[in-house]
Amino acid sequence: MSTIAGGEVRRTTDVAVGDRALAALRDYSVVAIVVGLFVVMSLTADNFFSMRNFMNILDANAPLMLVALGTTFVIMAGAFDLSTGQILSLGGVLSAWFAFKVGSPVAGLAFGIAMGIPIGLLNGVLVGALRLNSFLTTLATGLVFGGVALLVVQGASIDLSADSTFVWLGSHRFGVVPVTAIISLIVFLVFWAVLSLTVFGRQVQAVGSNPEAARLSGISIAKVMMGAFMLGGLAASLAGVLLVSKTGVGNTYGGASTLTLNAIAAVVIGGTSITGGRGAMWRTVFGVLLLALLQNALNLLNFEPFWQQIVSGLVILAAIVVNTLGSRGKV
């Protein structure tokens, strides 16, 4: 009897371990893919495994990282922000314009970053308080923001590349470590804390998970949306300021729409639910890293541009398939 009982117990534990391993694979698949890509690249590409290359990757992808981190709040709350690329463009332009206007590079940088707050808030009011569809609303406001950015520069660009203070933020490095990477890390830590540890973070998750239940739990959907879009706007304008500060030339950003979509893709690739309510800030970091490493890998391996596009698309697709099937409980 005792042997049988013992056998039974062990068997159930084995199954439990198996289940847990499967669940872990599903939950952390993005981590596995990033690590796998990293290992493969280290073994196959000569010039991949160097601190300088890693830092270059982080530097080049800081804008995407920041926008994606901000977008995580919006997606977690069950909405979309399609205007982030344009906010980035506008934020960058405004910083150069203001720095030029008042003659202070520091004031200019601060102004450009700060303007993300009212801009994001505008989106938040439209979506949260007026209950407009976020997809269409931010598509429209994005057009407006992009237009305003063009208006500010009047078709020309504002050249501050000679101002060493203005370009410090975007181009300085402590040794090999770029300031942009440090800023990304700080923003991640702050956003992670806000989403995971605060009342606001809980409410973002609740609104994304079930808006009606959130409302009947005494949560103001309007306030949550305003907060989420505000953080999204702030992160985007910060990213824009970094970009402009890197070159010192205040011009509108050409890849705005692509960046918006890549940021959303990074959030979802990380494993955050596209319908809201489920996800985490660290996931977005891995989503961005996956896109960034892939880009870097294809460059180093000298893939033709069209192959780069095709492979990137397929990898994103694969990640989404894994996540979607996973959330349906089938993987």
Partner 1 sequence: MTTAVGTASVLEAEGIVKSFGRHRALDDVGITIRPGTVHGLVGENGAGKSTLSKILSGVMRPDEGVVRVSGADVAFSSPGAALAAGITIMQQELSLATDLTVRENVLLGRHPSRFGFVSERRMRRDFDEIIERTGFELDGGTRVEALPLAKQQEVEILRALARGARVIIMDEPTAALSAQDGERLHAIVRSLRDSGVAVIYISHFLDEVLALSDDVTIMRNGRHVRTLEAEGATVDDLVEGMLGRVQEENFPELAPVRDDAPVVLELRDVRRRGQTDGVNLSVRAGEIVGLFGLVGSGRSELALAIFGADGRHTSGEVLVDGEPARLSSPAAALDNGVALLPESRKDQGLFLGMSQRRNATMTCLSDFDTMGVVRSAAERKAAVSELHAMGVDPVAPNGEVGVLSGGNQQKVLFAKTLLRRPRVLLLDEPTRGVDVGARRAIYDIVADLVAEGMAVVLISSEFDEVVNMSHRLCVMREGRIVKEFASQDVSHAAALAAAFGVSESSTFIKEVT
Footprint of partner 1 (CB under 8 A): 12, 15-16, 19, 197-200, 202-203, 205-206, 209-210, 212-220, 273, 277-278
Looking at the Cβ atoms of 104 and 220, the one nearer to partner 1 is 220
Residues 6+ apart with CB under 8 A from 311: 294, 298, 303
Spatial distance between the Cα atoms of 263 and 66, rounded to a whole number of angstroms: 9
Strand 177-178 with 249-250, pairing: unpaired
Residues 87, 260: contact at Cβ < 8 Å?
A: no
Give me the least distance between CB of 313 and partner 1, in Å please: 29
| Tally of residues, the chain | 331
Looking at the Cβ atoms of 248 and 279, the one nearer to partner 1 is 279
Spatial distance between the Cα atoms of 137 and 129, rounded to a whole number of angstroms: 13
Residues 188, 58: contact at Cβ < 8 Å?
A: no
Element (H or E) spanning 211, and its range?
Answer: helix 211-216
Looking at the Cβ atoms of 43 and 130, the one nearer to partner 1 is 130
Give me the least distance between CB of 32 and partner 1, in Å please: 22
Spatial distance between the Cα atoms of 132 and 98, rounded to a whole number of angstroms: 32
> How far is CA 254 from its chain centroid?
18
Looking at the Cβ atoms of 305 and 329, the one nearer to partner 1 is 329
Looking at the Cβ atoms of 43 and 216, the one nearer to partner 1 is 216
173 to each of 108, 190, 307, how far by Cα in Å?
A: 21, 22, 33
In 3-state terms, what secondary structure has residue 177?
A: strand
Spatial distance between the Cα atoms of 237 and 225, rounded to a whole number of angstroms: 18
Looking at the Cβ atoms of 225 and 293, the one nearer to partner 1 is 225
Looking at the Cβ atoms of 88 and 214, the one nearer to partner 1 is 214
Give me the least distance between CB of 276 and partner 1, in Å please: 9
Give me the least distance between CB of 279 and partner 1, in Å please: 10
In 3-state terms, what secondary structure has residue 251?
A: coil
